[in-house]
């Protein structure tokens, strides 16, 4: 009997030690069993007691084995080594996920006999890549420190244009940034567009505008170009400034330049002044500027020469090209005269202010027909009238036109001329 009892006690003690979480202390369990056995008088009752105790222990162990804590819960920034349901008294271990770093605490959790998990001491924080680095000619949408796995986006700074690649960078799990494909280069607008009726010049750049020397094109962001109407074209009076924009295009100037529709001063509606006209000839269509006299003798005169007599030499009136200013003293030039009269027949009027015996007097000579031959500039003037003392042009018909040479004035003639004006306008028969 003693051997059976010892064997039975060994079983009880092994069961208690294997499931010590069930009992408070193995010695307590043993003492309780021994005290109970001692109180029993017969061996039979003792054996019955042991069998009953073992049955109860087995039932208890069976019920405890059925306690489960379920699948280990997800924890922020961590992964667990077990993905199936876990029962009492098993354990699981958590580790920091890729890209996160541990606080050094244990990641072990126990499934308790109440079906709950023990608290988790492990804490995992994201690896940081720091503040996004500065990149040449770019700005970043984030200025604070960035942690894995966040992203930032770079854009080209004002005045620079993208190569079309992505500007996104990722903070990686090793604390490094992914390479940047974006490249930003200075905006270039190229040479301003050629406009038929305009000309342009580059302006001196304002503050903050980069200047490129040694022949490099001055066509970078914010650089301005000013258009103006080509000679003889009419302006709408608006600004001709165009600016190199962020999209690499020049802005549109408000200025509009148009070809004049008037063929000569007769087609101009307005007061006396400088106008643009567009004579038409077979092989050339080019606008020219002229001074229109809308007051003298019915108006509509195109002024050919206007100057004090003393300035005729400095104006070089024997040249074919224009000299002087249309708003002051000028000679229009024989080239322009021939060009203007290419579509119509014209008459001529010459006005002279002169000094005679201390008196300031005025005379004029009118010619019903006036023409200059192309190329040779030979003069033909007929139908003289007026209060001039004689027809000073008669002796020059058929010869190259030399305005106001030896006509009425000193030193070769008798009059002391002060001011001379020559005009022409179309003939209406």
Is the preceding peptide bond at 130 cis, omega within 30 degrees of 0? no
Which residues partner with 419 through β-bridges? 308, 353
**Quick one: what percent of the chain has pLDDT higher than 90?**
46
pLDDT value at residue 206: 45
| Residue position matching structure tokens 């006509």 | 407
pLDDT in tens, 61-111: 666 566 899 999 999 999 999 999 999 999 999 999 988 899 999 999 999
- How far apart (Å, rounded) are the C-alpha atoms in residues 340 and 289? 11
pLDDT value at residue 234: 86
Which residue positions in the chain have pLDDT lower than 70?
1-31, 33, 37, 41, 59-66, 202-219, 281-285, 405-406, 411-414, 429
Nearest to 420 by CA among 333, 255, 317, 307: 307
pLDDT value at residue 283: 54
pLDDT value at residue 122: 95
Q: Which residues of 269-282 are buried (b: 16+ CB within 10 A; e: fewer)?
A: eeebeebbbbbeee
pLDDT value at residue 379: 93
User: What pTM does this model have?
Assistant: 0.54
pLDDT value at residue 231: 80
pLDDT value at residue 411: 61
Helices 26-39 and 2-18 cross at an angle (nearest 10°) of: 150
CB 156 within 8 A of CB 148: no
Nearest to 300 by CA among 419, 423, 429, 403: 423
pLDDT value at residue 11: 46
Nearest to 333 by CA among 114, 341, 274, 397: 341
């Amino acid at each position: 009997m003693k051997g059976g009892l010892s064997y039975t006690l060994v079983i009880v003690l092994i069961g208690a030690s294997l499931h010590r979480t069930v009992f408070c202390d193995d010695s307590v369990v043993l003492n309780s069993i021994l005290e109970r056995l001692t109180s029993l008088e017969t061996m039979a009752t003792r054996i019955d007691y042991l069998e009953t105790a073992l049955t109860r222990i087995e039932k208890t162990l069976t019920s405890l084995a059925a306690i489960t804590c379920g699948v280990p819960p997800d924890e922020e920034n961590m992964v667990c080594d077990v993905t199936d349901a876990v029962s009492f008294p098993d354990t699981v271990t958590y580790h920091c996920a890729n890209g996160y770093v541990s606080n050094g605490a244990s990641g072990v959790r126990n499934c308790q006999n109440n079906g709950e998990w023990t608290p988790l001491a492990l804490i995992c924080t994201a690896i940081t890549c720091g503040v996004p680095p500065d990149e040449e000619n770019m700005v970043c949408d984030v200025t604070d420190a960035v942690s894995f796995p966040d992203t930032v986006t770079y854009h080209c700074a004002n005045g620079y244009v993208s190569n079309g690649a992505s500007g996104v960078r990722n903070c990686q799990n090793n604390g490094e940034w992914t390479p940047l494909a974006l490249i930003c280069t200075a905006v270039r607008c190229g040479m301003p567009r050629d406009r038929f009726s305009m000309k342009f010049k580059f302006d001196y750049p304002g503050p903050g505008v980069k200047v490129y020397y040694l022949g490099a094109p001055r066509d970078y962001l914010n650089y301005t170009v000013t258009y103006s109407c080509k000679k003889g074209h009419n302006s709408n009076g608006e600004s001709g400034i165009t600016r190199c924009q962020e999209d690499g295009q020049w802005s549109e100037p408000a200025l509009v330049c148009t070809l004049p529709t008037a063929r000569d001063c007769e087609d101009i509606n307005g007061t006396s002044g400088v106008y643009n006209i567009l004579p038409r000839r077979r092989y050339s269509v080019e606008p020219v500027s002229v001074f229109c006299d809308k007051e003298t003798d019915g108006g509509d005169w195109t002024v050919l020469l206007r100057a004090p007599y003393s300035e005729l030499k400095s104006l070089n009136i024997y040249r074919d090209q224009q000299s002087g200013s249309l708003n002051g003293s000028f000679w229009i030039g024989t080239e322009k005269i021939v060009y203007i009269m290419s579509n119509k027949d014209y008459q001529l009027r010459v006005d002279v202010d002169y000094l005679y015996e201390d008196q300031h007097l005025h005379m004029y000579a009118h010619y019903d027909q006036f023409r200059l031959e192309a190329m040779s500039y030979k003069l033909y003037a007929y139908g003289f009238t007026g209060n001039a003392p004689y027809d000073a042009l008669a002796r020059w018909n058929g010869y190259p036109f030399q305005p106001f040479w030896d006509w009425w004035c000193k030193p070769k003639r008798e009059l002391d001329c002060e001011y001379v004006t020559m005009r022409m306008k179309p003939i209406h028969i």
